[in-house]
């Protein structure tokens, strides 16, 4: 009998609306970058962005996650001005097409986070650095009263793959989260989502160990996001490419749901929604 890790019912306050996590959510990726690791996800022109937004919504995503700064290993740094310019184009299109859409912004810069919330009503700040790349991020999120995705990463997108050594990765990561969760809660941040950061400063073996022990992060008691869509932990292990990694993504999304994931961050929304429906139909919670 397939079983899912038992969790107390969780919810998120997104713009004043309480969103239940009794059913896991699907977050569709909108990359407004020219250099994302997965070429099929890159959208730059307005028509291309609009088509991608419609696809994400039509295929059943609960949240749109827009990012303008590529976090692939070795990605080029871009200025805050360029990042905001790209985001503004995408956010204007989302708000024009779907005014009520739930939106997450993938940024580690507090000034960008604040502008996206104030100007476009964004609901979630998705920070790959866990507050490490901008010392004002935690205080900014607290003031914005928005939900915050706290991800684990060592180093920066440019250096993270030089920081893949751990004495004991699971205890180190749990300590990392406990410190930052305590600080966020002390500042008054009420809606914290944790993300183990698959592929960010971790070897292929580390990534699969994390997936095997995902329940340990689920048991922290906060919503758990998993983002493994078409990542190198799949295509390097299978000697393929991001373009050939949909099957592996679906397999790992299934394992993530069984491990207690509350949100799946994906490029392929339709396939993730179908995976979620099938897993939900099949599983029995572990008591």
* Catalytic sites, residue numbers: 231, 265
In angstroms, the first-to-last Cα distance of the chain is: 13
Q: How many helices (DSSP H) and strands (DSSP E) are in the chain?
A: 10, 12
Tokens 């990392």 — which residue?
A: 176
Q: Is there a contact between 120 and 84 (Cβ–Cβ < 8 Å)?
A: no
Work out whether strand 11-14 and strand 17-20 pair parallel, antiparallel, or are unpaired: antiparallel
Using CB atoms within 10 Å of the CB of residue 58, give its burial: 0 to 12 exposed, 13 to 18 middle, 19+ buried.
exposed
- Helix/strand/coil for 106: strand
Task: Give the C-alpha separation, 104 to 125, whole Å.
Answer: 6
Q: How many other CB atoms are found less than 10 A from the CB of residue 48?
A: 12
Query: What are the backbone angles phi and psi of residue 169, rounded to the nearest 5°?
Result: -65, -40
Cα within 13 Å of Cα(200), Cβ side: 22
Task: Give the C-alpha separation, 53 to 60, whole Å.
Answer: 11
Nearest residue to 272 via CA among 39, 10, 65: 65
């Amino acid at each position: 009998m397939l079983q899912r890790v038992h969790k107390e019912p969780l919810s998120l306050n997104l713009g004043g609306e309480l969103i239940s996590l009794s059913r896991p959510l699907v977050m569709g990726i909108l990359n407004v970058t020219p250099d994302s690791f997965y070429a099929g996800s890159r959208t730059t022109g307005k028509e291309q962005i609009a088509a991608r937004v419609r696809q994400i919504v039509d295929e059943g995503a609960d949240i749109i996650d827009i990012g303008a700064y590529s976090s692939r290993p070795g990605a080029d740094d871009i200025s805050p001005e360029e990042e905001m310019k790209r985001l503004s184009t995408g956010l204007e299109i989302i708000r024009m097409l779907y005014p009520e859409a739930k939106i997450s912004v993938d940024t580690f810069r507090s000034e960008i986070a604040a502008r996206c919330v104030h100007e476009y009503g964004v609901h979630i700040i998705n920070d790959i650095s866990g507050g490490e790349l901008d010392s004002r991020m935690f205080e900014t999120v607290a003031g914005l009263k928005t939900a915050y995705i706290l991800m684990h990463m060592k180093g920066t997108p440019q250096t993270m793959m030089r920081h893949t050594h751990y004495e004991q990765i699971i205890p180190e990561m749990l300590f990392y989260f406990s410190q930052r969760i305590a600080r966020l809660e002390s500042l008054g941040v009420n809606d914290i989502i944790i993300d183990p950061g698959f592929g960010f400063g971790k070897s292929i073996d580390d990534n699969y160990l994390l997936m095997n022990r995902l329940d340990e992060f689920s048991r922290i008691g906060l919503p758990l996001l998993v983002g493994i869509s078409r990542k190198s932990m799949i295509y390097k292990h299978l000697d393929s490419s991001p373009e050939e990694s949909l099957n592996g993504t679906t397999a790992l999304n299934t394992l993530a749901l069984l491990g207690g994931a509350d949100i799946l961050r994906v490029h392929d929304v339709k396939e993730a929604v179908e995976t979620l429906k099938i897993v939900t139909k099949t599983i029995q919670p572990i008591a």
